[in-house]
Structure 1
Amino acid sequence: MKKQSTLDGFLKRKHESSSQVPVEPPPTVIDANTPNDSVPMTDNPSKKPFHEMNDVDLNTLERDPSLRIQIYDYPVNQQDIIRRAYINRGPFQPILSTYPKSGPEDHKRSFQCSWFKQFPWLEYSQSSNAAKGIYYRWISKLEESRWEKCAFLQHIGTECTSFHNVAQKSYDDLLNEAQDIQNKIEKFTDEDRKKNRLRLKTIIYAVRWCAFQAIAFRGHNERPDSINKGNFLEMLEAICSFNNEMKELFRTAPKHASYTSRTIQKEILNLIANRVRRMICDEIDGGKFCLLVDEARDKSNREQMSIVLRFSIRGQGYDGASNMRGHFKRLQALISKDCSSAYYVHCFAHRLQLALMAASQGVIALQKFFTQLSFVINVVGASSKRADQLRDAQAEQMAYFKSISELETGRGLNQIGTLQRAGDTRWGSHLKSVSSLIKMFSPICEVLLKIIEDGTGSIRGDADSTYETITTFDFIFVLHLEKEIMEITYLLCQALQKQSQDILNALRLVAFTELLLQKIKDEIWDSFLSHVKSFCLERNIDIPNLSSSYFSRGARARNERSDHTLEHHYRVDIFIEAINCQLMELDHWFNDSSMELLHLSSTLDPKNSNEPFRSGDICQLVEKFYPEDFNETEKNLLKMQLQHSEADVIQHDDYKQLISISELCQWLIKTRRATNFYLIYRVVSLILTLPVSTATTERSFSAMSLVKTRLRNKMEDEFLNDSLVFYFERELAENITLETIVQDFKDAKDRRIPL
């Protein structure tokens, strides 16, 4: 045998082909005058490069067992940290509707998700369709003909020296703190550990408090002699100021392990946020869910995406932007490619906003009104001086009405407010703007007259033009018309933004809104016109002769003839046209292909209990929209369950008292009928969780504006994500005990002090 020239050559893998002739590296001539740093280093191709810790993000470690980097490819002093990171995450156990089959053509078998509960250590690799184990880096891929439980039992073995039992023993030893070499060298008492844990709990409490309040952790100057060291350190000092024992505990803390640095603050916050994420995943537990996605820019002009999982449902809900709802290349298409029954539903709240905006721009009189309204707000609210004048005018008006006993008094009533500005993305703000203008109309006119008399420059002309505009009958007429329409649509807008809103109830609210608008158009014209006239008379606004002829340009043109009166113009061209335009837009935005899915789903709505039960619609719903969730046998069994449910469920007195499909789902579980009619319960679960709106994601952006402010615009994305998860999922975060967080902190990696 040829003698190996190098140690690497001696340790070369034996299975490599011996026919390959090794290529000798070119000789290196070393000059005596050449410094050692300039000598080129020859890389050994048989050596695998180590992965340095600064290149490894523990939060982005590969989850798929077959794609993970081997532990021995990391440096020795980092391997335990990587192991603990994987242990803390737990085994990778994806729950799939179907697993790929393998084996002989006449006897193919597939992996079963039920094995995860029988073998908690089991992992599954989607990339290689193989079973792995959390106790070791991997088990060799099972033979294709052995996709069965007995293969795992044989692998575990009955002997304590089996490969599985040895790996499990090593796993337990790694988690046994008493066997750590540091604890063998340095002796720590139970009192030391108790003090260390108490100090860490105080630090965690301060981190949680800052995160809950969405305030900055650090201060500009954190030195010991600083007057303001930042919220985190100031909170610790406040706690210590009430407890001398705690103060002494922090004073005697090891300098190398005080755990008050910004790195530790972020690590603790990340541990809590990760546990919250795991709690959410555990709550879903492989069930149906809905994906709500939206994006917005933060204070540093970076695009941030909010992803919300709505439990027990499956579907997609976006705000209608092209990069979200695109059928071919956008997010809807990418998700539908992997899950064909994840149906896209355009956010109802966003649809309503688009419908209201289109209606306001479809009638010339309404479009002019909103332009004039914006100009009024700009003129009256342009300076603090005018705001003070407006408040003084309101106070005088309230005092006058009180003196003549025309103003109701009481706690919380008659608050002095300001003229509300309408927002582009919040249509509910338009109602507040219109209502505030009606309420403060006389004080606004008084402020405008003062500006005309005392103002200087171009502002006098703007005030005069504004006063002439708002004191016309046209402006007052449209002002009250918009208030009538918006009061109806505002209730729908608020209802669509509720987190607990189900999609069938949302459709019912849309239908009720259309009925109310139609009722206004048919019944309230006379009372509405009388109210507008009364408003004008009280404020000395000229009322035109409504029986006179109407000319489009306000005066008789040379060749223009008038074939209708001024009252006909206000009623038909503005009043009826505005409502018709609103009805048309609502019908347009809430009548698409997804409405067929919702119409078929309405059969199970308890509010339709008085109507004949359409079991055929449920079968058609399953056949057309959810074919992958029911096999042929279950589809036939579903028909039988629907027949039995018509007598046992539909005719039940308690069923008739239910008001929503969500209550039906809870009632089926409470009465244990979900076990007998499990296929109907599955249909209800699929219907219930179709998304209604992305209001939840909008709330997350509101939280983002509180967390990432102008002064904190350099927050890292990971720190921002953890802070938002903590702040937004406050209920879950509050349920995590300090002891749990201390244990997670201890298990994350080796600490310098015993915990």
Structure 2
Amino acid sequence: MTDHRKPKRYKNLLSWFTSGTPSSDSVDEIRSESGSGSRNVTENFVNDVPLNPSPSIPLEECHNERIEREESFDVKASFILEDIAIYPSHHPTFTEHGFQGWKNVMSKKSGIVYHMGVLNSPHNIAMHKWESLRNPSKHIERVISTQSSQEVTDNRLRLITTIESVRLLASQRCSFRGHDESVNSSNGGNFNAVVDSFRRMNIDIRRVLQNAPGNAKYISPIIQKQILNILGNKVRTKIREEVGDAKFYILVDEAVDVSNREQMTIILRFVDCDGFIRERFFKVLSVADTCSQTLKDDISKVLTQYDLQVENMRRQGYDGASNMRGEFNGLQALFREECPYAYYVHCFAHRLQLTLNVAAKGVHDIWEFFSTLSLIVNFVDSSAKRHSALRVIREQEIADLVAAGALETGRGANQTCTLQRAGATRWGSHLRSISNMSAPYKKSTRACEQNITNEHYYRVNTLNAVINFQLAELDSRFTDNSLELLILSATFDPRDNFRTFKCEDVCNLALRFYRHDFTSYDMLALDMECGYFLADIQKDPRFANTTTVSDLCRRLVE
């Protein structure tokens, strides 16, 4: 049975065990505490236990060795190992009974000395590990922390290089990938070219890119898309902050890309807090189909994601497709069920383009004229020699006109140009095509001119037929309420010192399209306020040179 009372001179004994050299007083105290019944250490026995070679102690047990030695001074006997299940009955002196032969503790045949062993013994290795553990500078977490900080710095530099490359290409609207991005490729794409440029300009970037591990280069296409998506989210968040609580107007269009996937674009138009009219490209979505309900669900999901309320929508701008402009099941009708003020406006420029195209094809003489014009453009474009011949004729004609004083000279004036085809979606391209044909190449066609004139035929018969056809087409395409909305909104035109401003048009606009926002009392006050507004704004010199509604909004905020 073990006596748990602390022996005398406990501090001296602890000091002796720590230093490894016991004092004479300590030995005497231990001898007196042991009494007459203590056993003497013989040549081959320690506490009647043979000094057979002890099994080697693994390193994982060495951590507890010093602790056991210090804790063992609470009793008379000293124990070395704590877990006797690992080394059963080999050294019961150290594991079961405890070492008590302190009289000959420094003898060469002592179990303690034998246990300590030579320089590379398990005991000395454990002590070395213990001293290293007591030194904070050698702790594994401190070493790992030092190495990790350098790795973090290098990883951040590699990531910053990739982010700046993605930012540059995205802002310049350039493609990222190349046809061959292998190491031996002569042209690995724009992204790899930009990264190589950063590598050549900065030594640190060159070092971290050359020494980058294979799984942490941050230049893979997946990383590029992730960074581009993060930048896109930041841009959309910034646009959302610009919108604030203001009303907005959505513009939506869809098209099929080169991979035959239907893509839908969403554009927001609004007036910011400074009074500027902003039109921001917001997002591109890939849609499964183009039915109105699918488009409406996708658009609502995007608006909800960025906390844009449908109730604040005031306009919808789409093309004239049936899934967009349908009166009952179209996209505009679905949104108007949630917000009756979200009026649908088909782009007037697009409507006019469709009307003029139909009119050009409906009158035979006009259709024949543009068909012949297209054939001439195709004939000239098919040969570089014909282009050169026409260009020489134009340059000579310009030189003659400048010498005669018929043309003014200046920077960018009188430049030669090539023929241009008439586009199917922009009527202005028809005018440019005719101008490019008539102006530069008059001299080359003079030999084909006839002496008779067709002025009466083209000015009277053909022109009147075209005008009648266009009027009928315009009446059929501009029949909805959007035309009335446009006419009433034109009263805010600030040109000529608000010459077209009419108080009754403002009241009709509020009563016709925004009646739920105005009570009967508000309508009476609105008529009076419009009169004060017109009188004050015409006298204010800050609005004297205002020409657009955008300028008017900005100056009202100022």
* TM-score after normalising by structure 2: 0.59
Contact 1:219-1:230 within 8 A present in 2 as well: yes
Measure how far apart 1:205 and its partner are: 0.8
Amino acid at match of 2:167: R
Paired position in structure 2 for 1:605:
493
Matched, 1:543 2:502: no
Q: Structure 2 CA distance, aligned partners of 1:618 and 1:403?
A: 57
**CA drift at 1:639:** 4.9
Separation in structure 2 between the aligned mates of residue 428 and residue 337 of structure 1, nearest angstrom: 37
CA contact (8 A) 1:293 1:308 kept: yes
Distance 1:290 1:411, change over 3 A: closer
In structure 2, distance between residues paired with 1:605 and 1:415:
37
| Equivalent residue, structure 1, for 2:510 | 622
Per chain length, whose mean CA-contact separation is higher, i.e. which structure has more relative contact order (CA < 8 Å, sep 6+)? 1
Asked if 1 retains the 8 angstrom alpha-carbon contact of 2:393 and 2:441, the reply is no
Aligned to 1:357: 357
Greater Rg by CA: 2
Equivalent of residue 230 in structure 1, options 185, 189, 192: 189
1:663 paired with 2:551, answer: yes
Structure 1 Cα separation of the partners of residues 405 and 543 of structure 2: 52
Which one of the candidate residues 163, 166, 187 is aligned to 2:145? 187
Mapped partners of 2:480, 2:399: distance in 1 = 54
Deviation at 1:410, TM superposition (A): 5.9
**Residue identity opposite 1:198 in structure 2:** L
Report Cα offsets for 1:668-693 as digits up to 9, x if no partner: 222xxxxxxxxxxxxxxxxxxxxxxx
Structure 1 partner of 2:177: 218
C-alpha offsets along residues 199-224 of structure 1, whole Å, 9 cap, x if unaligned? 22111111122323333333444444
Which is worse superposed, 297-306 or 386-395? 386-395
| Structure 1 residue 441: Cα displacement | 3.2
- C-alpha distance in structure 1 between counterparts of 2:231 and 2:149, whole Å: 26
1:420 to partner: Cα distance: 1.6
* 1:218-263 deviations in Å (ceiling 9; x for gaps): 3444444444433322322221222222211223334332212221
1:205 paired residue among 150, 156, 164? 164
Provide the secondary structure at the position in 1 that maps to 2:436: helix
Residue by residue over 1:152-195, the C-alpha shift from the partner in whole angstroms, topping out at 9 and shown as x without a partner, is xxxxxxxxxxxxxxxxxxxxxxxxxxxxxxx9995256555444
CA distance in 1, matches of 2:448, 2:405: 22
Which amino acid counterpart does residue 208 of structure 2 have in structure 1?
A: L
Specify the code of the residue in structure 2 equivalent to 1:324: M
More deviation in 273-282 or 415-424? 415-424
Q: State the secondary structure of the residue aligned to 1:423.
A: coil
List per-residue Cα deviations over 1:30-63 (Å, max 9, x = no partner). Answer: xxxxxxxxxxxxxxxxxxxxxxxxxxxxxxxxxx
Q: Distance in 2 between matches of 1:572 and 1:612?
A: 34
| C-alpha separation in 1, matches of 2:361 and 2:395 | 36
Letter of the structure 2 residue corresponding to residue 661 of structure 1:
V
Contact kept in structure 2, 1:315 and 1:343, CA below 8 Å: yes
When residues 212 and 612 of structure 1 are mapped into structure 2, their CA distance, relative to the original with a 3 A threshold, is closer
1:264-299, Cα deviation, whole Å (9 max, x unpaired): 111111100111111111211232111111222222
Residues 442 and 539, structure 1, Cα contact 8 Å, conserved in 2 = no
SS in 2 for 1:218: coil
Where do residues 233-382 of structure 1 align in structure 2 (5 Å cutoff)?
A: 233-312=192-271, 314-382=314-382
The reply to whether residue 433 of structure 1 matches residue 433 of structure 2 is: yes
Looking at structure 2, the residues matched to 296 and 192 of structure 1 have their Cα atoms a distance apart, in angstroms, of 46
Task: Quote how far apart the aligned CAs of 1:543 are.
Answer: 2.3
Partner secondary structure for residue 304 of structure 1: strand
Are the equivalent residues in 1 in contact too, given 2:199–2:206 (CA < 8 A)?
yes
**TM-score (norm: length of structure 1):** 0.45
> Which secondary structure does the structure 1 equivalent of 2:145 belong to?
coil
Structure 1 residues 611, 412: closer, same or farther in 2, change over 3 A? closer
**Aligned 8 A contact 1:317 1:345 in 2:** yes
The CA distance in 2 between the partners of 1:303 and 1:440, in whole Å, is 42
Q: Distance in 1 between matches of 2:411 and 2:510?
A: 56
Q: Is the 8 A contact 1:318 1:324 kept in 2?
A: yes
Name the residue aligned to 1:472.
Answer: none
| Structure 1 residues 380 and 226: CA distance shift in structure 2, 3 A | closer
Deviation digits for residues 373-409 of structure 1 (CA, Å, limit 9, x no counterpart): 2222233333344334434544565567678787766
Q: CA 1:366 to 1:248, structure 2 compared with 1: closer, same or farther past 3 Å?
A: same
Alpha-carbon distance in 1 for matches of 2:417, 2:502: 53
Question: One-letter code of the match for 2:225?
Answer: K
How many residues are treated as equivalent by the alignment? 377
Query: What's the offset of the Cα at 1:624?
Result: 2.4
The alpha-carbon deviation at position 305 of structure 1 amounts to 1.7
For 1:461-500, what per-residue CA distance to the aligned partner results, in whole angstroms no more than 9, with x for missing partners?
A: xxxxxxxxxxxxxxxxxxxxxxxxxxxxxxxxxxxxxxxx
TM-superposed CA distance for 1:541, in Å, is 2.1
Look up the SS of the partner of 2:423 in the other structure. coil
- Correspondence for 1:196: 155
In structure 1, give the amino acid aligned to 2:489: S
Inter-CA distance 218–613: structure 2 relative to 1 (3 Å threshold): closer
For structure 2, the residue ranges without an aligned partner over 5 or more in a row are 1-140, 272-312
Alignment of 1:457-476 (within 5 A): none
CA distance in structure 2 between the partners assigned to 1:388 and 1:213 by the alignment: 34
1:394 and 1:291 map into 2 onto residues whose CA distance is 47
Q: Following the alignment from structure 1 to structure 2, what is the Cα–Cα distance between the partners of residues 197 and 639?
A: 63
Alignment partner for residue 594 of structure 1, among 482, 499, 502?
482
Q: Structure 2 vs 1, CA of residues 608 and 406 (structure 1 numbering), >3 Å: closer, same or farther?
A: closer
Assess, with a 3 A threshold, how the Cα gap between structure 1 residues 400 and 299 changes in structure 2: closer, same or farther: same
After TM superposition, give the deviation of residue 310 of structure 1 in Å: 0.5
| Pairing 1:309-708 to 2, within 5 Å after superposition | 309-312=268-271, 314-395=314-395, 412-442=412-442, 445=445, 539=447, 541-544=449-452, 568-579=456-467, 581-582=469-470, 589=477, 592-607=480-495, 614-630=502-518, 634-635=522-523, 638-639=526-527, 641-642=529-530, 644-649=532-537, 651-670=539-558
Deviation, structure 1 residue 613: 6.3
CA distance in 1, matches of 2:402, 2:501: 59
> 2: CA distance between counterparts of 1:264 and 1:434?
50
Q: For residues 416 and 616 of structure 1, do their structure 2 counterparts lie closer, same or farther at Cα, with a shift above 3 Å needed?
A: closer
Indicate the SS of the match to 1:421.
coil
Q: Distance in 1 between matches of 2:179 and 2:220?
A: 14
Which AA in structure 2 matches 1:663?
D
**1:598–1:214: structure 2 CA closer, same or farther, 3 Å change rule?**
closer
SS at 1:441's partner residue? Answer: coil
Offset at 1:344?
A: 1.1
The Cα RMSD (Å) is: 3.6
Deviation for aligned residue 1:337: 1.4
